[in-house]
Amino acid sequence: MIRPMAITVVGSMPVQPSTEELASGYQTGEDPFERSLERAVAAQVECGVEIVSDGQTRDTMVNVFARHLRGIRMKERPIAIADIEWKGSIALKDLERARSILPKGRVLKGLITGPYTMSKGVVDQHYNDPAELATAFARALNSEARAIEPVVNVIQLDEPFFSVEYPSIAKELVKKAFEGITKPKALHVCGDVSKVFDRLTEMPVDILDHEFAAHPGLLSVLKEHSFKQSIGYGCVRSDDVRIETVDEIAARLQNVMGITGHERLLVDPDCGLRNIPLESALGKLRNMAAARDRVMADAR
Task: For residues 257 and 263, give the distance between their C-alpha atoms in angstroms, rounded to a whole number.
Answer: 9
Q: How many CB atoms lie within 10 A of CB 69?
A: 23
User: Is 1 a member of any domain?
Assistant: no
User: Poorest-confidence range of 32-41, 154-163, 249-258?
Assistant: 32-41
Residue 187: strand, helix, or coil: strand
On whether residue 108 sits in a domain, the answer given is yes
pLDDT of residue 31: 79
Domains of the chain: total:
1
For residues 209-231, give the mean pLDDT: 96
7 within a domain of the structure (yes/no): no
Q: How confident is the model at residue 18 (pLDDT cuts 50, 70, 90)?
A: low
pLDDT at 148 over 70: yes
Q: Mean pLDDT, to the nearest integer, of 10-18?
A: 85
Provide the pLDDT for residue 259: 93
Q: Which amino acid is at 123?
A: V
pLDDT of 20 reads 72
User: Average pLDDT of 80-101?
Assistant: 97
Give SS3 for 17.
Answer: coil
Residue 159 belongs to some domain of the structure: yes
Torsion angle of the four alpha carbons 293, 297, 299, 300, in this order, in degrees rounded to the nearest 10? 140
Determine the structural domain holding residue 95 and report its residue range: 19-299
Q: What is the Cβ-side half-sphere exposure of residue 20, based on CA atoms within 13 angstroms?
A: 0
Q: Is the pLDDT of residue 27 over 90?
A: no
Q: Give the contacts of 284 (CB within 8 A, at least 6 positions apart).
A: 236, 243, 244, 269, 273
| pTM (predicted TM-score) | 0.95
Q: In a 3-state reduction of DSSP, which class is residue 86?
A: strand
Q: Please give the pLDDT value at position 23.
A: 62
Confidence of residue 200 (pLDDT cuts 50, 70, 90): very high
Q: Which residue would you say has higher pLDDT here, 2 or 45?
A: 45
Which pLDDT value is given to residue 34? Answer: 87
- Order of strands across the sheet with 230-234? 51-52, 107-113, 154-158, 185-188, 207-211, 230-234, 265-268
Looking up residue 283, the CATH number of its domain turns out to be: 3.20.20.210
Tell me if 10 is assigned to some domain: no
Nearest to residue 195, comparing CAs of 233, 230, 221? 221
Strand 230-234 to strand 265-268: parallel, antiparallel, or no bridges (unpaired)?
parallel
